[in-house]
Structure 1
Amino acid sequence: MKEINANMAGTVLNVLVNKGEGVSPGQLVVVLESMKMEIPIESTIEGTVTDIKVGIGDFVNEGDTLVILT
C-alpha cells in the first residue's frame, strides 16, 4: 500500500482521480486551497488508486492521507 499525503493543511477543492485509475509520478491527484491559493498535489509514485480518503470541501492537515495506491 502506497499513500499520497497532504504536504500542507487546507481545504480540498478538487479530486482529480477515481478508484481503479492508474496514476503516474507527476500526475495531479488533488487540489487543495490554503490562504486563498490553490495547491496542486502530485503523485510521486506509480500505482492504481484503491481508495480516496477525502472529498471536496474536506479540511486536511499536513500529512493526512489523501489517496491510497497499490
Structure 2
Amino acid sequence: MGSLSIWHWAIVIVVVALLFGGRGKLSGLMGDAAKGIKAFREGLKGDDDVKSNDGVSSLPRTDAEKEELKR
C-alpha cells in the first residue's frame, strides 16, 4: 500500500507530459499570465490619467451633480 502502483505512475507521466510536452505549454501559460499582470498594471496607471490637475474627476456627472453645479 505504501508504494506507487502502475496507475499512479501513469497519472504522473500524463500530467508531466501535459505540462512540459509539446511546444512549451507551461511557458506559454506563464507568458499569458505575465501579459495579464502587465495589462492590469497599465490599467492601474491609467486611473491617474482620469483625474485632472485640480484633483476633480473628469468622469461623467450625474443629474444631481449637474444641478448642484448650476447653483
TM-score for both structures, normalised by structure 1: 0.16
TM-score for both structures, normalised by structure 2: 0.16
Q: Select the structure with the greater relative contact order (CA < 8 A; seq sep ≥ 6).
A: 1
Higher percent of residues as strand: 1
